[in-house]
Amino acid sequence: MSDRKLDHIQLTNSSQAIGAPISDLFYYEPLLSSHREDIDLSVEFLGKKLKLPLWVSSMTGGTGAARHINNNLSKVAGKMGIGMGLGSCRPLLDSNEFLDDFNLKHNLGDYPFWANLGVAQVQECLDRGQKEQVIDIINKTNADGLIIHVNPLQEWMQPEGDQFTTAPINTIKDSLDVFDFPIIVKEVGQGMGIESLKSLMELPLSAIEFAAYGGTNFTTLEKSRAKGIDEIHTCITSVGHTALDMVEMSNQLINENKHLACQNFIISGGIRDYLTGYYLMEKSLGNCVFGMASPFLEKADSGEKDLLDFVLDIEKGLKLASQFLRIRN
Residues within the interface to ligand FMN (CB under 6 A): 57-60, 87-88, 116, 149, 186, 188-189, 211, 215-216, 268-271, 292-294, 297
Strand partners, 290: 54, 267
Nearest-approach distance from CB 61 to ligand FMN, in angstroms: 7
CA angle 178, 179, 182 (to 5 degrees): 140
Nearest-approach distance from CB 136 to ligand FMN, in angstroms: 18
**Between 29 and 313, CB nearer to ligand FMN:** 313
Nearest-approach distance from CB 130 to ligand FMN, in angstroms: 21
The Cα–Cα gap between 300 and 66 comes to 10
- Fill in the amino acid letter for 276: T
**Between 70 and 263, CB nearer to ligand FMN:** 70
**Between 39 and 99, CB nearer to ligand FMN:** 99
The secondary structure of 229-279 as a DSSP string is --GGGGGGGG---BHHHHHHHHHHHHHH-TT-S--EEEEESS--SHHHHHH
The Cα–Cα gap between 193 and 189 comes to 13
- Provide the sign of the torsion angle of the four alpha carbons 227, 228, 233, 235, taken in this order: positive
Nearest-approach distance from CB 59 to ligand FMN, in angstroms: 4
**Between 179 and 324, CB nearer to ligand FMN:** 179
Nearest-approach distance from CB 155 to ligand FMN, in angstroms: 12
The residue nearest ligand FMN at its CB is 215
**Between 253 and 292, CB nearer to ligand FMN:** 292
**Between 160 and 258, CB nearer to ligand FMN:** 160
The Cα–Cα gap between 44 and 305 comes to 27
Q: How many CB atoms lie within 10 A of CB 215?
A: 19
The Cα–Cα gap between 43 and 36 comes to 19
Q: How many CB atoms lie within 10 A of CB 37?
A: 7
Nearest-approach distance from CB 323 to ligand FMN, in angstroms: 26
